Amino acid sequence: MSNTSPTLAQLEQKDTFIRRHIGPGKGEIEEMLSAIGASSLDDLIEQTVPAGIALPEPLKCGEGATEVEALSELKAVAAKNKINRSFIGMGYYDTHVPNVILRNVLENPGWYTAYTPYQPEIAQGRLEAILNFQQVTIDLTGLELASASLLDESTAAAEAMGLAKRVSKNKKANIFFVSDDVHPQTLDVVKTRAEMFGFEIVTGPAEEAAEHDVFGALLQYPTSTGEIKDISDIIAAVQAKKGIVAVAADLMSLVMLKSPGELGADVALGSAQRFGVPMGYGGPHAAFFATRESFKRSLPGRIIGVSKDTRDRPALRMALQTREQHIRREKANSNICTAQVLLANMASFYAVYHGPQGLKTIAERIHRFADILATGLTQKGASKGVALKHSTYFDTLTVMVENKEDVLAKAYANGMNLRSDLDGAVGVSLDETTTREDILALFNVILGDDHGLSVEDLDAEVTTQAVKSIPEELVRTSDILTHEVFNKYHSETEMLRYIKSLENKDLALNHSMISLGSCTMKLNATAEMIPVTWAEFGQLHPFAPLDQAVGYQEMIAELAEWLIDVTGYDALSMQPNSGAQGEYAGLLAIQRYHESRGDSHRNVCLIPSSAHGTNPASAQMVSLKVVVVACDSNGNVDLNDLRKKAEEVGDNLSCAMITYPSTHGVYEETVKEICDIVHEHGGQVYMDGANMNAQVGITSPGFIGSDVSHLNLHKTFCIPHGGGGPGMGPIGVKSHLAPFLPNHTVINVETAGKNCGAVSGAPWGSASILPISYMYIKMMGSEGLRRATEVAILNANYVAKKLEGHFEILYKGNNDRVAHECIIDLRPLKEASGVTELDIAKRLNDYGFHSPTMSFPVAGTLMVEPTESEAKYELDRFINAMISIRQEIAKVESGEWDATDNPLHNAPHTLADICDSNWNRSYDRMLAAYPAPEVHRNKFWPTVNRIDDVYGDRNLICSCPSIESYVEE
Ligand SMILES: *Cc1c(COP(=O)(O)O)cnc(C)c1O
């Protein structure tokens, strides 16, 4: 070493993000390579990935930028968005995100890095928040049973149609009626869904619903243009003919309106966006969905239910069909997997924070502003050709004007957006953020500056005249949100502590690694998250004119270009807002393509037995028949069976859905052959992109030969899982499928198909989380992205190698290598000892870990996916925990420990166990709670003991339990 100081140029060397994202440092990578017997990362990749699929060239995603550079560049792009005051409505409203929720939930990794609560003992916090969401839904809709969020209002409406078909007693009917006053994007999405189900959609005035022979009908309340009508007679008339009635409703208006349940609806659904979730150019937001108790087995999506733990204390868990697509596959109610948990939680916290009285005040103020606006427009409008279309309304006025274009232009010039898609009228929707100045500005725009109106005078008139803009019979008289949780935390201090108390119950990535195979729980870097809550991205309405969204369009286009490069496809759609929605959109494109070639008879989808449950569930949504292809003893698709099935199906083959590397965690050598066989029979290849973390920069679906894939941006591209959503599932396609990508009825998507209906409510799905993936790619660059894949493979192989001799690794590929994940086979141990995979999963909690994926894709196994973000220290800690658990199993096996009186069977251990003065187990408390030395440094306490699933499903409770049930304890 020289004794001179470093030069400035040396000191200026970029602090690259790559080394922050990738867990193991240089030295650790060397150590791990030598532990698995590879000389370099290149050597490992050569040993692992079949030569025939290696990309000949590096990616074209540029050079990695530093965090500082990337943030400042994206800030400049974001600044090109023009934030107008939005009065567009149509299901999206401005809202004040309570700061205590913004910072402590939306911007808090304790909330946003958690996974779907499949391990409820370490997820009671978010389970409680979602249960609160269900309670808000139940109270406001007046129905009995609510689900834990769907993707958006439009897809929730499509799910309601599916439910109607399942439960309607009018079995022969094939018509679904949609009233002509629902939001246009809702009709669009419902039509797309109906097309492939083979349902006929009839639209018309709501009053005509019962004139048709329908299995169901969709109404909207208040209507898209703002009118409030008593729809109870219409509902009854449809039901008299055995049709099911779904009502799309606005959550804020329901605070003041008689509920859909009270009007007789079978289903109520809508968006919870305006409960404190930014518009974000379309999402993510949670949709709510409620129905009758008797339809509980037909409900789409997840439900949180109350059960009890082994100490008989109340404990929450996902109920009933929670894993339904995994179990029921193509018979599942829907393909919903990732939903909108983080946003549902935000909305539920909004209700907790404001409480019933606060919400009433907010709703009444919005409504008062609407009354004031309506009164002013009526008084001064007549002479100017301005008139209100409806005399009833909550917050939305449809204002008939003589020259719509002039009014819109004047609004734009004044930094305001009005609804623009109505004939001879503009729409004005008010919201929580509306001010007196806004009302005056609206008068100026609609009536001209000389209107002479005063908000205060109008308010006095409205007050004394008791304006009846909500029909008397539709005023809510029932109470809402009477549960204690909504009446307790109204000071910020109390709210902060409530949020924190729930966060403390949950294990998220800020505590330890979550090695869920197939889910890719990697770093969600802070620099990636920061832009999400910039106003430039948060406050845009999805239907704002494109010239106000230049920054968004630029960011989306650049991200699309990178993703096209990464996937080796030709075109991309950002519309699907989850992986499963991407599957649906991709299969839809395939079916539209076949139809365009006169091949509408192609209706069979080949799916290997190892596939994720969403694959067959999605196939069902486009009316494909699923034929299962066998896997061989190495876990690979059985080529002979594939050939045989393809031949049997013959001309009816639509497509095959494969996952690569397979869900068994290996790079199949024969993947190109699989594609060839399918193509030879005229089929298309859908490659599930969930395992892209083992492909990026090394190979690609397009290069391998598939035709379409979804990407789970919330797996490979760093969008956090949010405790069960949000996600984004854009699809890439080869050029021949590009004309069949989903478009949008309100905003034309230039890169989409011409006459293709929408699959989501917003044209670019959940656009406001795209900056996360953008930042990731920008900071990693081509080299970093490839390096991430290499280290993901290294980490998985390191875990597999280190567990050798203790556990069986079920499947291996070339040279005994696994891909980016590996499956630990626990069946032989269960056979020998009686210790189950569930015992092991729960015992891992005692060691401070979340369990890996359990029993997928093979029952009785755990699938470990460490990802590239975990350093060697954390991998070793996990490996040591697993080896220690193996030694514990040996004690059960040998009879040294009793079959049930042992720490595996009784896991996880809670403080209640350890402090129990009646502790009478044959093992000691220290072993129970601190089974490894590292645990002392960072103990995580599960807050409930093992939960009784069967009890919970037999005694289904999906609302907040009464206080007494907690007090008993
Ligand atoms: C996660 C996953 C999906 C579904 O994605 P969602 O975003 O949860 O809808 C599909 N296939 C595989 C293999 C997956 O791991």
- Is the predicted pLDDT of residue 113 greater than 80, yes or no? yes
CA of 712 to the centre of ligand 1 (A): 7
Residue type, 523: L
Residue 908 lies in a domain: yes
Query: Which among 518, 581, 691, 716 is the best mutation to test ligand 1's pocket, defined by most ligand atoms within 8 Å of the CB?
Result: 518
CA-based nearest residue to 623, from 588, 648, 658: 588
Question: Whose CA is closest to atom 7 on ligand 1?
Answer: 579
Instruction: Indicate the range of 460-469, 573-582, 600-609 predicted with least confidence.
Output: 460-469
In the prediction, which pLDDT does 950 show?
Answer: 85
CA 169 / ligand 1 centre spacing (Å)? 33
For range 606-619, the mean pLDDT: 94
Answer with the one of 446, 474, 502 that is the final residue of a domain.
474
313 and 447 in a single domain? The answer is no
pLDDT at 968 over 50: no
Per-residue pLDDT tens for 157-184?
999 999 999 999 999 999 999 999 999 9
**In this structure, which residue's CA is closest to atom 15 in ligand 1?**
518
Ligand 1: does its nearest atom lie under 6 Å from the Cβ of 338? yes
Distance of CA 691 from the midpoint of ligand 1 (Å) = 9
Work out the pLDDT band at 1, boundaries 50, 70, 90: low
Residue 659 CB–ligand 1 contact under 6 Å? yes
Let me know if residue 632 belongs to a domain. Answer: no
pLDDT in tens, 476-506: 999 999 999 999 999 999 999 999 999 999 9
Peptide bond connecting 661 to the previous residue in cis, omega within 30 degrees of 0: yes
Q: Cβ-count burial of 423 within 10 angstroms (0-12 exposed, 13-18 middle, 19+ buried)?
A: exposed
Same domain? For 240 and 330 the reply is yes
CB 737 within 8 A of CB 707: yes
Q: Which two tokens stand for residue 20?
A: 């922050």
The dihedral formed by the CA atoms of 414, 417, 418 and 424, expressed in degrees to the nearest 10: 70
The answer to whether residue 423 sits within a structural domain is yes
Residue 267, SS3? strand
Find, among 948, 959, 952, the residue nearest to 293 by Cα: 959
**Nearest-angstrom CA–CA distance, 409 and 416:** 9
The CATH number covering residue 415 comes to 3.90.1150.10
Q: Are both 397 and 285 inside the same structural domain?
A: no
Q: How far is CA 351 from CA 358, 362, 416, 440, in A?
A: 8, 11, 28, 30
Q: Is 337 in the pocket of ligand 1 (CB under 6 A)?
A: yes
Contact 776, 785 (CB under 8 A): no
Q: Determine which residue's CA is closest to atom 8 belonging to ligand 1.
A: 338
**Residues 292, 409 share a domain:** no
Question: Is the residue at 585 inside a domain?
Answer: no
The finding on whether 789 has its CB within 6 A of some atom of ligand 1 is: no
Task: Give the model's pLDDT for residue 845.
Answer: 98
Count of structural domains within the chain: 3
Same domain flag for 370 and 296: no
Check whether residue 367 and residue 343 sit in a common domain: no
Q: What percent of the chain has pLDDT over 70?
A: 98
Is the pLDDT reported for residue 325 higher than 70?
no
Tell me the pairing of strands 822-825 and 861-864: antiparallel
CA angle 494, 498, 500 (to 5 degrees): 115
**C-beta of 101 in contact with ligand 1 (< 6 A):** no
Residues 439-461 have a mean pLDDT of: 97
Q: Are residues 399 and 294 in the same domain?
A: no
Q: Is residue 602 part of a domain?
A: no
Instruction: Name the residue at shortest CA distance from atom 3 of ligand 1.
Output: 579
Q: How much is the pLDDT for 535?
A: 97
Residue 175: strand, helix, or coil: strand
Give the tens place of pLDDT for each residue, 349-369: 999 999 999 999 999 999 999
User: Are 219 and 242 in the same domain?
Assistant: yes
In which band, very low, low, confident or very high, does the pLDDT at 526 lie, cut at 50, 70 and 90?
very high
d(CA 319, CA 170): 29
Question: What tokens appear for 835 in the block?
Answer: 């210790």
Reported in sequence order, the residue ranges of 259-303 that DSSP labels E, i.e. its strands, are 267-271, 287-291
Closest atom of ligand 1 to CA, residue 336: 9
415 in the same domain as 290: no
Domain end position, chosen among 474, 503, 531: 474
Q: 670: which 2 tokens?
A: 């024969």
DSSP one-letter string for 579-625: HHHHHHHHHHHHHHHHHHTT-TT--EEEEETTS-THHHHHHHHTTPE
* pLDDT reading at 967 higher than 90: no
* CB distance 729 to ligand 1 below 6 Å: yes
CATH number of the domain within which 329 lies: 3.40.640.10
In this prediction, residue 3 carries a pLDDT of 73
Confidence of residue 330 (pLDDT cuts 50, 70, 90): confident
Ligand 1: distance of its center to the CA of 690 in Å?
A: 6
DSSP state letter for 384? G
User: How many A from CA of 613 to the centre of ligand 1?
Assistant: 8
- 337 pLDDT exceeds 70? yes
Collapsing DSSP to helix, strand or coil, 726 comes out as coil
Please give the pLDDT value at position 772.
Answer: 98
**Are 399 and 431 in the same domain?**
yes
Name the DSSP class of 631. B
Most distant CA atoms of the chain, gap in Å: 94
Instruction: Evaluate whether 603 touches 625 at the Cβ level (below 8 Å).
Output: yes
Give me the chain's average pLDDT, please. 96
Query: Which range has the worst mean pLDDT, 112-126, 322-336, 700-714?
Result: 322-336
In short, whether 578's Cβ falls inside 6 Å of ligand 1 is yes
pLDDT at 25 over 70: yes
Helices (H), 88-171: 99-101, 109-112, 124-141, 153-167
Long-range contacts made by residues 838-841, C-beta under 8 angstroms, separation at least 24? 839/904, 839/905, 839/907, 840/885, 840/889, 840/904, 841/119
Residue 771, in any domain of the structure: no
Residue 465 is predicted with a pLDDT of 85
Token pair, residue 889, equals 């199993």
187 domain-assigned: yes
Q: Answer with the one of 292, 316, 351 that is the final residue of a domain.
A: 351
Co-location of 822 and 941 in the same domain: yes
Please state, in angstroms and rounded to a whole number, the distance separating the CA atoms of residues 56 and 288: 47
Cα separation, 58 vs 781, whole angstroms: 11
529 in Cβ contact with 107 (< 8 Å) = yes
- Looking at the fold, whether 460 and 333 belong to one and the same domain comes out as no
Q: Are 837 and 864 in contact (CB under 8 A)?
A: no
Residue 74: inside a domain, yes or no?
A: no
407 and 442 in contact (C-beta within 8 Å)?
no
Atom of ligand 1 nearest to the CA of 582: 9
User: Which residue has its alpha carbon closest to ligand 1 atom 14?
Assistant: 690
Read off the tokens for 61: 């995603």
How far does residue 576's CA lie from ligand 1's centre (Å)? Answer: 13
pLDDT-derived band at 969 (thresholds 50, 70, 90) equals very low
Domain that residue 845 falls in = 781-954
CA distance 534 to 767: 13
Instruction: Determine if ligand 1 sits within 6 Å of the CB of residue 690.
Output: yes
Task: Tell which one of 159, 688, 717 to mutate to probe ligand 1, the residue whose CB is within 8 A of the most ligand atoms.
Answer: 688
